[in-house]
Amino acid sequence: MTITEKILARESGASIVQPGDNIWVNAGILLTHDVCGPGTIGIFQQEFGKDAKVFDREKIVILPDHYIYTADVKAHRNIDILRAFVKEQNLPYFYDPGTPSYCGVCHVALPELGHVRPGETIFGTDSHTCTHGALGAFSSGIGNTDAGFIMGTGKLLVKVPPTLRFVLDGKMPSYLSAKDLILHIIGDITVDGATYCAMEFTGSAIEALSIEERCTICNMAVEAGAKNGIIAPDQKTFDYVNARTKKPYEPLYSDRDAKIQAEYRYDVSKLEPVVAKPHLPDNKALARDCRDVKVTQVYIGSCTGGKLEDFIMAAQLLKGRKVAIKTLIVPATRHVEQGLIDTKIDGQSLRAIFEAAGVEPIAPPSCAACLGGPIDTFGRTHGNEVVVSTTNRNFIGRMGSKDSQVYLASPYTAAATAIKGTITDPRDL
Amino acid sequence: MSKAKLIRGPVYVLEDNIDTDLLIPACYLNLVPTIPEEYKKLGSYALAGLPDSFPKFASNPDGSTPYPIVIGGRNFGCGSSREHAPIALGAAGASVVVAQSYARIFFRNCVATGEVFPIESETRLCKEFKTGDEAEVNIEANTVTRLSDGKIFPLKPIGAVAPVIDAGGMFAYARAIGMIKK
Ligand code: SF4
């Protein structure tokens, strides 16, 4: 069996499962946030009754992150709904905006907080829940109804996905990042190339990646339609997880002879920086072939490109240089925000590097303009902006305005573009 | 899903990769679908993310749609897990989506909520219909008929999720099989 099949088998009490089997799987963690949490709670209360108790207080994690720094009245009302529910149910893992426990973007915070453990199952009311497969968990996005069901029962009916294996070998060239790798893959297999499948990433180039970079790859599995992305855990994973949680876990691994649906091989040493042009994540082009594209704003943030290492990459290029266009910096979490101060390149903090380069005042952590959001959202587009963004989606209207155009890129390419004002291959600086 | 299995009316035609930001833009995700007034509001914003060159979907004065049938191409509903997407279609009064293929979470959310039937077509129907054409979808016979000339197009059987759809959504199914108490 594959790692995905083994985790699903163990959590359903079966010794063997096969792709296509519909099985009831135990939820190790149920994750929700401010946009889908209130609806999930609504379903839970409608279906299980006003006095119902959640299946397991320890397994529910609520990380508001989408609409935090806004005057929108309903957005605040929604967080109040979460607060009331947390109080009523006495839930221990609620990271409340406006208090010291607030974190920021749920998919960066969940592993940071030690809620992601190899071999476990995670279901979340957000499609990028697939991020957490980077630590060897089965992790998948679901809707409010399924989440309400889990809240009451701790289980979900899951169809076992077939596995597509991506073997990435070779040495990473300078200025190539995990974002480029996943944009290459999605460009090749297209936005529905992995529909219903597990995407398993393996090979020496994956092993060489940090945990954060692995998260970037699994984060975008859903952009190819996948149910989950997954990377076998190794010593790096254990070191990361053990530093954040004392809870025991049991990792699982794919068998050598596991049946898979297809295998794709890449030599990463031959790959070049890419962008995804508007309006689909599979609209791949080499960054150097887009030199003529004039850009009006650069956005570095989100669960894909707002982690500490993303800002380190950007700062490497921005150090000692000036941005030519509006450049927005949104750390994904409080932890990342603090990291901008604590992390230094040649004695200068990332924050100081960005400020000296002339970026906009750095925003507090949240999803911000990654998904447009309420009208007063930081960085939201309002006209025909041309944006180079480290986020994961470039659909029409995704960052706010239907008339704006979004190019998805790595933090290196985004920073190089900020300096030049046109799409720039970071190797050309 | 206590919905009729014979759906007749004008169709609204879309093509490939209709994403959830088109189905319901993020600025409306502050609405909570389980609050009745907000459920209705979501319906009035269904497909509000489409470029302005498209006819308005929820164009009735009361915020509902004159189109009970939505036709799409490949990968319908790609993108986010927001259940607001099928709910917006259902709340607007659409009953069925007929597309060549679906993004997984959208399909699942249609089934789990019972808001709209997600049916797969055998052929590329978005090339056979234009918005406003009258059609009849027969979910038992797995056909869609173009009423202007009576031409019949085959649909794929609903498959493994049929028991959940027949029961009327995830909760009804779980009750029917004894997973949760009645
Ligand atoms: S950062 Fe963007 S993609 Fe990630 S959870 Fe927030 S809105 Fe979704």
Domain ranges of chain B: 6-176
Based on the domain organization, do A97 and A223 belong to the same domain? yes
Give the per-residue pLDDT at B160: 83
Is residue A366 within 8 Å of residue A65, measured between CB atoms?
Answer: yes
Residue A273 has pLDDT above 50, yes or no: yes
The partner residue sitting opposite B80, judged by closest CB among A127, A152, A191, is A127
Least Cα separation, residue A228 to chain B (angstroms): 11
A78–B30 CB contact, under 8 Å: yes
Is residue A26 within 8 Å of residue A55, measured between CB atoms?
Answer: no
Tokens of A143: 């809707």
Based on the domain organization, do A212 and A321 belong to the same domain? no
Given ligand 1 and candidates A219, A333, A371, which is best to mutate, with the most ligand atoms within 8 Å of its CB? A371
Please give the residue that has the higher pLDDT: either B180 or A36.
Answer: A36
Helix H or strand E encompassing A419: helix A411-420
User: What tens digit of pLDDT does each residue of A394-428 get?
Assistant: 999 999 999 999 999 999 999 999 999 999 999 99
Which residues of A fall within a CB distance of 8 Å from B22?
395-397
CATH number at residue A167: 3.30.499.10
* DSSP state, residue B57: S
Based on the domain organization, do A374 and A232 belong to the same domain? no
Residue A86: which residues within 8 A CB-CB, separation 6 or more? A62, A94, A96
Based on the domain organization, do A351 and A323 belong to the same domain? yes
- Dist. CA A196–CA A228, nearest whole Å: 8
Buried b (16+ CB within 10 A) or exposed e, A215-238: bbbbbbbbbbbbbbbbbbbbeebe
Give the per-residue pLDDT at B1: 40
- Dist. CA A350–CA A38, nearest whole Å: 36
Residue A159 has pLDDT above 90, yes or no: yes
Among A320, A277, A116, CA closest to A212? A116
What is the residue whose two structure tokens read 């089997």?
Answer: A21
Number of domains, chain A: 2
Based on the domain organization, do A251 and A308 belong to the same domain? no
Based on the domain organization, do A243 and A289 belong to the same domain? no
- Dist. CA A394–CA A339, nearest whole Å: 28
Helix H or strand E encompassing A68: none
Residue A97 has pLDDT above 80, yes or no: yes
Based on the domain organization, do A247 and A282 belong to the same domain? no
Residue-averaged pLDDT of chain A: 98
B105–A143 CB contact, under 8 Å: yes
User: What tens digit of pLDDT does each residue of A330-339 get?
Assistant: 999 999 999 9
Based on the domain organization, do A243 and A324 belong to the same domain? no
- Dist. CA A34–CA A367, nearest whole Å: 11
Q: What 3 state SS string does A121-147 have?
A: EEEECCHHHHHHHHHCCEEEECCHHHH
Which residues of B fall within a CB distance of 8 Å from A155?
179
A297: helix, coil or strand?
A: strand
B130: helix, coil or strand?
A: coil
Q: Is residue A143 part of a domain?
A: yes
- As to burial, measured by CB atoms within 10 angstroms (0-12 exposed, 13-18 middle, 19+ buried), residue A116 is buried
Residue A163 has pLDDT above 50, yes or no: yes
The partner residue sitting opposite B170, judged by closest CB among A141, A149, A398, is A149
Give the residue numbers spanning the domain of A316. 276-428
Which of residues A202, A236, A266 is at a domain's end? A266
- Dist. CA A27–CA A147, nearest whole Å: 10
B78: helix, coil or strand?
A: strand
* Distance between Cα A105 and ligand 1 center (Å): 7
- As to burial, measured by CB atoms within 10 angstroms (0-12 exposed, 13-18 middle, 19+ buried), residue B175 is middle
* Distance between Cα A391 and ligand 1 center (Å): 8
Give the per-residue pLDDT at B3: 57
Region A187-196 average pLDDT: 98
Least Cα separation, residue A347 to chain B (angstroms): 40
Least Cα separation, residue A78 to chain B (angstroms): 7
Which residues of B fall within a CB distance of 8 Å from A46?
34
User: What tens digit of pLDDT does each residue of A102-158 get?
Assistant: 999 999 999 999 999 999 999 999 999 999 999 999 999 999 999 999 999 999 999
User: What tens digit of pLDDT does each residue of A294-351 get?
Assistant: 999 999 999 999 999 999 999 999 999 999 999 999 999 999 999 999 999 999 999 9
Helix H or strand E encompassing A12: helix A3-12
Based on the domain organization, do A239 and A120 belong to the same domain? yes
Which of residues A248, A266, A284 is at a domain's end? A266
Helix H or strand E encompassing B174: helix B170-176
Q: How many Cβ atoms from other residues are within 10 Å of residue A87's Cβ?
A: 10
Based on the domain organization, do A112 and A34 belong to the same domain? yes
A74–B31 CB contact, under 8 Å: yes
Region A168-190 average pLDDT: 98
State the architecture of B6-176 in CATH terms: Alpha-Beta Barrel (3.20)
Residue A260 has pLDDT above 50, yes or no: yes
Q: Decide whether any atom of ligand 1 lies within 6 Å of the A32 Cβ.
A: no
Nearest CA in chain A to B32: A39
Q: Is residue A271 part of a domain?
A: no
Region A241-245 average pLDDT: 98
Q: What is the mean pLDDT of each run of 10 residues along chain B (182 residues)?
A: 78 98 97 97 98 97 98 98 98 97 97 95 97 96 97 93 86 92 78
Helix H or strand E encompassing A62: strand A60-62
Give the per-residue pLDDT at B5: 84
Residue A72 has pLDDT above 80, yes or no: yes
Which of residues A204, A235, A266 is at a domain's end? A266
Tokens of A377: 């959202």
Give the per-residue pLDDT at B182: 73
